[in-house]
Amino acid sequence: MSLEMMRSLVWTDCRLALVFMVFMPFGLLVWAIVENAQPISRLLVIYWRVASLFLITLYLMMTQDPLSFMTLFLGFLLIPISLWFWVDLNEEIDDRRGKLKLMLTAWRWGVTLFCLISAVALAPALGCAVSKAAAATDDCQVWLEPAYGFAALFHAKLSVGRTKLLATFALIMYGFYFVYFLLFRLPKQGRSATGY
């Protein structure tokens, strides 16, 4: 595949990610809060906790950190799991009727397909995670361009060192919470989001 075609696909993926992973879930969360749809609100709060890995990844990409390719790939896998894993929330959402449930279901299927397709598209670029030199190649730099654009728009004066420090700290905190969830909360509450 040519570099220009790859660049076009990466930017399309980035634009779709904004729609499917930022704007739509934010709108659904506001709608769920207004309608007092607690199971949907709970599911979307879980989604935002997991999706925060993408924000961390964005900042890692701004600093050309090779680890960002792994965190991006992991994020694409964790999002679908977080949306379908919870038995109690799935049952409560299935019992609901109306436009909110229909929109949530359509969004869950859409974002699941988007994440899986994006993970497959990113898989060949996982070699970029090997080293800083590998991440500096043209094929890898294409994946980092949207992060550079974000940095130019919103963080033009933020130093690379400070950005890397903040992103690394956020990733460590995310990792601690994820390990805590896997070792303590998951064995205790299983697939119940509410713990009952």
At residue 139, the pLDDT reads 86
Looking up tokens 């779709």, which residue turns up? 16
Distance of CA 174 to the CA centre of its chain: 13
At residue 193, the pLDDT reads 81
Residue ranges of the chain whose pLDDT lies below 70: 195-196
Q: How far is CA 123 from CA 85, 116, 117, in A?
A: 24, 11, 10
Nearest to 51 by CA among 74, 19, 85: 74
**How many CB atoms lie under 10 A from the CB of residue 5?**
9
**How many CB atoms lie under 10 A from the CB of residue 142?**
19
At residue 25, the pLDDT reads 97
The C-alpha angle with vertex 178 and arms to 176 and 182, in degrees rounded to 5, equals 115
At residue 195, the pLDDT reads 66
At residue 196, the pLDDT reads 59
At residue 151, the pLDDT reads 87
Looking up tokens 């009727």, which residue turns up? 97
Q: What is the dihedral of CA 161, 50, 6, 20, to 10 degrees?
A: -130
At residue 112, the pLDDT reads 97
At residue 42, the pLDDT reads 95
At residue 159, the pLDDT reads 84
pTM: 0.91
Pair 103, 28: CB distance under 8 Å: yes
